[in-house]
Amino acid sequence: MKAKFADLVSYFENLAASHVKLKHNPDEKHFFRFELEEMLTGMRSGVNYPAIILEGYDFNFVDGDSDNIHKRINCGFMVIGKVSDKGDYDAIHTLWDELEEIGDEIIIRILSDKRQKKTDCLAYFHAKSVSGAPLTDINLIHYGFRYEFQLSWPISNDINPGAWESA
């Protein structure tokens, strides 16, 4: 089965729904799908904290000179929270600790789900591709961690005759 980014979005939404500190559901949203710039310039309303935000992705094709084409996906997610008093550094550091723990738990869950082959979109996930960094928005009220990682999905070399008009 060919993996798609939509599969990854669904997977992350399920992670947010099943994590005990998030409990994402339609009435209390803790999962979102948007870009880092939106987070840094002003959060959407209706965000419940902590929240997971799955970012978009970029990709390139890799064939290793063997015609085994893979689509290498570079993507990321953020785990964010909110501290109203920008001068309360103890609260900020406590929040960062909590959010980093959630982010690390997500990575460990991804590794476990990959081993158990729960979804095709994780088949080529490797922990060595993960990097993370703390983040703060420009208003100094949203804090969190941003995790970047790579996936790889096989792509068929076969031409789909239904995609082309006869020449």
State the pTM of this model: 0.85
Cα–Cα distance, 111 to 94 (Å, whole number): 26
Residues 111-150 pLDDT 10s: 999 999 988 888 889 999 999 999 988 777 889 999 999 9
d(CA 2, CA 160): 14
The dihedral through the CA atoms of 14, 20, 25, 29 has a sign that is negative
Strand positions, DSSP E, 91-155:
131-136, 142-154
- Spatial separation of the C-alpha atoms in residues 61 and 68, rounded to whole Å: 10
Q: Say yes or no to pLDDT of 44 above 80.
A: no
Higher pLDDT, residue 70 or 15: 15
Give the start-to-end residue ranges of the domains of the chain.
5-136
For 2, residues 6+ apart whose C-beta sits below 8 A from its C-beta are 120, 153, 154, 155, 156
Tens of pLDDT along 59-118?
A: 999 887 777 888 899 999 999 999 988 889 999 999 999 999 999 999 999 999 999 998
147 within 8 A of 104, measured Cβ to Cβ: no
